[in-house]
Each structure stands twice: as structure tokens, then as C-alpha cells.
Copies of this chain bind each other. A is one copy, B any other.
Amino acid sequence: MKIRKRIAIDMDGVLADTESHYISWYLQHHGIAVDPATLIGQPEGHGFPDRQAVERFLHTAGFFRTLPVMQDAQEVVLALSVNYEIFVVSAAMEFPLSLSEKREWLAEHFPGIGWRHLVFCGDKSIIDADYMIDDHLKNLDVFKGKTLLFNAAHNSHATGHERVQNWKGVQAFFNRELAGASSAA
């Protein structure tokens, strides 16, 4: 039996498009349309006129349940699941309200990922997998396997991990991994 390698995939900013959700909630709650370009290179939330707004959104019921799915995430995750074992690993413990909302969101948008493959944690250094896809350095820096930094405005100046611009970039990375593995075999 072939044991498939494991990919640990983050939710916020990777499976879910938190950045565009911040912008649309900001417009809705504060009446101001924030230009995505102004968020580049700033810590999460700091690019908005009211710097506390994002923190408030994260503690508001409904925020996580209504997140839009990141472009191409569903198709690429499905394609990756042929050759890899997929785990969704979210640092959900920081936001107690998010636990049930995230569970429901995943069941709706990624029904192919069963409950056995979901992990809600705090510190991701407890995760044992081969690859981790995440938009936060704090999670990738403590991971022992291969790391992919998913591009986001808040991490645009970060270095030290292979950066992927989007889910097409993730697909291309794993296509190379598989090609390398088969040529080495």
C-alpha cells in the first residue's frame, strides 16, 4: 500500500479569502471602500483607517461563516487529494466563535474533506505532516516539513519560505513535486 504524503492547509487567507472579506465588511460597516493596494506590506488589519476594525470583525458572529472561498481553491484541493492526504489545519482556538462556523463552512465548501481530516488548534508546531500551506510565517517557521507561503498583502515582504501567488501556483508546485518524485523513482 502506498502511503500518501500529507498536506496541511490553512483556512483563513488560504482556503478562505479573508482579505476581500475584510474589505467588504469594512465597506458595509464603515461606508469606506478600502483599496487592496493600501494593505500591501502592512500587518493584518493595519491598512484600514480604523485599525481595530478587523479585530472586531474576527470576534463578530457570522464573519467566518460568510467568508468567500479563495479563487481556484476547491478545484486544486480536489485535484491534490488524488495524490496527497489533505488536512485542513486552522488556528481556530484564538476565536471561540469561529469553531462551529468554520466546521459548517468547510462542510459547505469542501464537502470532500471529512471530519477526520480537520484540525482546529492554536500552535501549529503540534502538526505532523509533509507539507504546510499557510499565509503566516509564525506557522511555517515552526513546521518541520516543506513550507509554502501563500501570498497575502500582510506577508508581501516576507522571505524564507517558497511563495505561491495563488492556488494555480500551489498546483504548479505539486506538479513539480510529483514529477521530481517519479523521475527519482
Residues of B contacting A180 in the complex (Cβ-Cβ under 8 angstroms): none
| Nearest opposing residue in chain B for A89, CB measure | B126
Q: Using a CB–CB distance below 8 Å, which chain A residues touch chain B?
A: 6, 8, 87, 89, 92-94, 96, 99-100, 103-104, 114-123, 125-129, 144
Q: How far is the CA of A150 from the CA of B111 in the complex (A)?
A: 34
Chain A contact residues: helix, strand, loop or mixed: mixed
Are B123 and A117 in contact, CB atoms less than 8 angstroms apart? yes
Contact A126 B93, beta carbon cutoff 8 Å: no
Asked, given contacts A100-B99, A103-B96, whether A125 binds B128 with beta carbons under 8 Å apart, the answer is yes
Distance in angstroms between the alpha carbons of A93 and B87 in the assembled complex = 13
The answer to whether A121 and B122 touch across the interface, beta carbons within 8 angstroms, is: no
- Which residues of chain B are near A103, meaning CB under 8 Å? 93, 96, 99
Residues of B within 8 A of A125 (CB): 128
* Docked CA distance A125–B130 (Å): 13
Take A100-B100, A127-B128 as given contacts and tell me if A93 and B115 are in contact as well, using a CB distance cutoff of 8 Å. yes
Contact B128 A123 (CB under 8 A): no
Asked if B116 and A119 sit within 8 Å, CB to CB, the answer is no
Distance of A84 Cα from B158 Cα, bound (Å): 32
Q: Report B-chain residues with C-beta under 8 Å of the C-beta of A94.
A: 115
What residues of chain B lie closer than 8 Å to A127, measured between beta carbons?
Answer: 126-128
- Residues in chain B near residue A126, CB distance under 8 A: 6, 8, 87, 89, 119, 127-129
Asked whether A93 and B122 contact (CB < 8 A) given A99-B103, A100-B99, A103-B99, the answer is: no
- A128-B144 Cα distance, complex, nearest whole Å: 10
What chain B residues lie within 8 Å of A144 (beta carbons)? 128
Contacts of A8 in B (CB 8 A): 126
Measured CB to CB, the closest approach of chain B to A73, in angstroms, equals 20
